[in-house]
Amino acid sequence: MRKKIDYLELCKLVRAGQAPKKIEVLDDIFEWNGKDYKRCSGIAKLFLHETMYFKTLCEEGTDIFIIDEILDQVEKDYLRAVIKPFRDRVKEVIKRKSPISESSEYIRIYYKESNKDRHSISFPDFPKGRMYKGMKVEKPYTLEELGL
């Protein structure tokens, strides 16, 4: 999930102590480490948000995208462990409303066993809004979208 902002908006967020965790600039991903953005791809370099390079890169009408993480680290680690044996066959992950209780939700993973077969695994229900908060109900997500 990405939200487009400009350089001035990014600076306002940083100064307000609300720096986005991850941003994308010119197909490069940068992660906020508390005081700088660190380039994730290629050779790792630190770019302070106010350095001349970063300012020039961003001010010349370059699009900046805030990359929202859908899952937190605990959720990612858990799902990675569960799907590890069949990761290459997973097609989508969906958060669903529980058919048993309106106040519950659950996760269902769809995967292919062969060219024709579609199987799924349903996880136990959890209280609505308690887990997988970044996922929208009934929206299918790929593993890539979930950062898995």
Q: Do 56 and 83 fall into the same domain? A: no
**Does residue 30 fall inside a structural domain?**
yes
Contact in structure between 89 and 113 (CB atoms under 8 Å): yes
Distance, C-alpha 129 to centroid of its chain: 17
**End position of a domain, from candidates 67, 86, 110:** 67
Total-model pTM:
0.59
**Does residue 148 fall inside a structural domain?**
no
Q: Do 85 and 115 fall into the same domain? A: yes
Q: Which of 43-47, 62-66, 76-80 has the highest mean pLDDT?
A: 76-80
How far is it, in rounded angstroms, from Cα 41 to Cα 135?
26
Q: Do 80 and 55 fall into the same domain? A: no
Domain that holds residue 45: 2-67
**Does residue 44 fall inside a structural domain?**
yes
Q: Region 20-28: what's the mean pLDDT?
A: 79
69: pLDDT strictly greater than 90: no
**Does residue 84 fall inside a structural domain?**
yes
Q: Do 45 and 8 fall into the same domain? A: yes
76: pLDDT strictly greater than 80: yes
Q: Do 50 and 20 fall into the same domain? A: yes
pLDDT band at 44 (very low <50, low <70, confident <90, very high): very low
Quote the pLDDT of residue 48: 52
**End position of a domain, from candidates 19, 43, 67:** 67
Q: Region 131-146: what's the mean pLDDT?
A: 89
Distance, C-alpha 140 to centroid of its chain: 14
**Does residue 16 fall inside a structural domain?**
yes
Give the count of domains, the chain: 2
**Does residue 28 fall inside a structural domain?**
yes
Quote the pLDDT of residue 124: 92
Q: Do 55 and 79 fall into the same domain? A: no
**Does residue 147 fall inside a structural domain?**
no
pLDDT band at 16 (very low <50, low <70, confident <90, very high): confident
Q: Which residue has the higher pLDDT, 144 or 115?
A: 144
Quote the pLDDT of residue 105: 95
**Burial of residue 74 (number of CB atoms within 10 Å: 0-12, 13-18, 19+):** exposed
